[in-house]
Amino acid sequence: MIEKRYPEKDEAFYRAMMFAEEDRHRFTTARWDGSFRWFKASNVLCFEHYRRVPDPPAEPKSKPAA
């Protein structure tokens, strides 16, 4: 299972402060450094915005009664 990494308020702020990934090449030659990025296209999901929720610990198996 996965969950969102950034709250909607933070995503809105980052989108206002950063260029969309499709437009970055027009404004900078800097390579992506692994920080937040976003795409204008609605069919692109940036996997960095999600994180895997750890599975709950497994129940210990009991030995069958003899």
Report if residue 66 sits inside a domain: no
DSSP 8-state secondary structure symbol assigned to residue 21: T
pLDDT digits (tens, 9 = 90+) for 19-63: 888 998 899 898 888 888 888 888 877 777 677 777 777 777 766
pLDDT above 70: residue 65: no
| Model pTM score | 0.55
Report if residue 59 sits inside a domain: no
Better-scored residue on pLDDT, 22 or 64: 22
Report if residue 57 sits inside a domain: no
- In terms of residue numbers, what domain contains 34? 2-52
Give me the number of domains the chain comprises: 1
pLDDT at position 13 is: 94
